[in-house]
Amino acid sequence: MLAVLVEELKKTGLQAAPADHCYAGPEDVSCDFCTGRKLKAVKSCLVCLASYCEKHLQPHYESPAFKKHKLVEPSKNLQENICSHHDEVMKMFCRTDQQCICYLCSVDEHKGHNTVSAAAERTERQRELQGSRQQIQQRIQDREKDVKVLQQEVEALNRSAEKTVEDSEKIFTELIRLIEKRRSEVKQQIRSQQETEVSRVEELQEKLEQEITELKRKDAELEQLSHTEDHNQFLHNYPSLSQLSESTDTSSINIRPLRYFEDVTAAVSELRDQLQDILRQTWTNISSLVSQVDVLLPQPEPKTRAGFLKYSCELTLDPNTANENLLLSEGNRNVTVINQQQSYSSHRDRFIELYQVLSRESLTGHCYWEVEWRGTGVYVAVTYKNISRAGRGRECVFGYNDKSWALSCYQNSFTFWFNNIKTPVSGPQSSSIGVYLDHRAGILSFYNVSETMTLLHRVQTTFTQPLHAGLKLFGCGSTAELCKLP
CATH number of residue 390's parent domain:
2.60.120.920
Look at residue 140 and tell me if it is in a domain. no
Task: Tell which residue, 379, 332, 400, has the closest CA to residue 473.
Answer: 379
pLDDT at 87: 78
DSSP β-bridge partners for residue 423: 416
Cα(243)–Cα(211) distance, rounded to whole angstroms? 14
Domain containing 361: what range?
Answer: 305-482
Look at residue 110 and tell me if it is in a domain. no
pLDDT at 388: 94
CA terminus-to-terminus distance, the chain: 102
351-366 tens-digit pLDDT: 999 999 999 999 988 9
421-425 and 432-438: which strand pairing? unpaired
- Listed residues 59, 76, 93: the one ending a domain: 76
| Cα Rg, the chain, nearest whole Å | 50
Look at residue 241 and tell me if it is in a domain. no
Look at residue 332 and tell me if it is in a domain. yes
Look at residue 206 and tell me if it is in a domain. no
pLDDT at 349: 93
Cα(436)–Cα(371) distance, rounded to whole angstroms? 12
The sheet carrying 115-117 orders its strands as 99-101, 92-94, 115-117
366-374 and 432-438: which strand pairing? antiparallel
- Listed residues 76, 110, 142: the one ending a domain: 76
CB 83 within 8 A of CB 104: yes
pLDDT at 10: 67
The sheet carrying 421-425 orders its strands as 356-363, 467-474, 377-384, 404-410, 414-418, 421-425
Q: What is the DSSP letter of 303?
A: S
φ, ψ for residue 238, nearest 5 deg: -60, -45
- Listed residues 76, 92, 114: the one ending a domain: 76
Task: Tell which residue, 91, 83, 90, 24, has the closest CA to residue 56.
Answer: 24
DSSP β-bridge partners for residue 88: none
455-466 tens-digit pLDDT: 999 999 999 899
DSSP per-residue letters across 86-109: T--B--EEETTTTEEE-HHHHTTT
Ranges under pLDDT 50 in the chain? none
Look at residue 71 and tell me if it is in a domain. yes
pLDDT at 15: 54
DSSP H or E run through 382:
strand 377-384
CB 460 within 8 A of CB 445: no
User: Residue 303, Cβ neighbours under 10 Å: how many?
Assistant: 11
pLDDT at 233: 86
The sheet carrying 443-448 orders its strands as 326-329, 334-337, 479-482, 366-374, 432-438, 443-448, 454-460
Look at residue 5 and tell me if it is in a domain. no
pLDDT at 356: 97
Q: How far is CA 214 from the centre of its chain?
A: 84
Count of domains in the chain?
2
Task: Tell which residue, 50, 38, 39, has the closest CA to residue 76.
Answer: 50
Cα(101)–Cα(95) distance, rounded to whole angstroms? 10
φ, ψ for residue 408, nearest 5 deg: -85, 130
DSSP H or E run through 367:
strand 366-374
Look at residue 395 and tell me if it is in a domain. yes
pLDDT at 48: 85
Cα 413 to Cα 292, 428, 436: the distances in Å are: 34, 9, 20
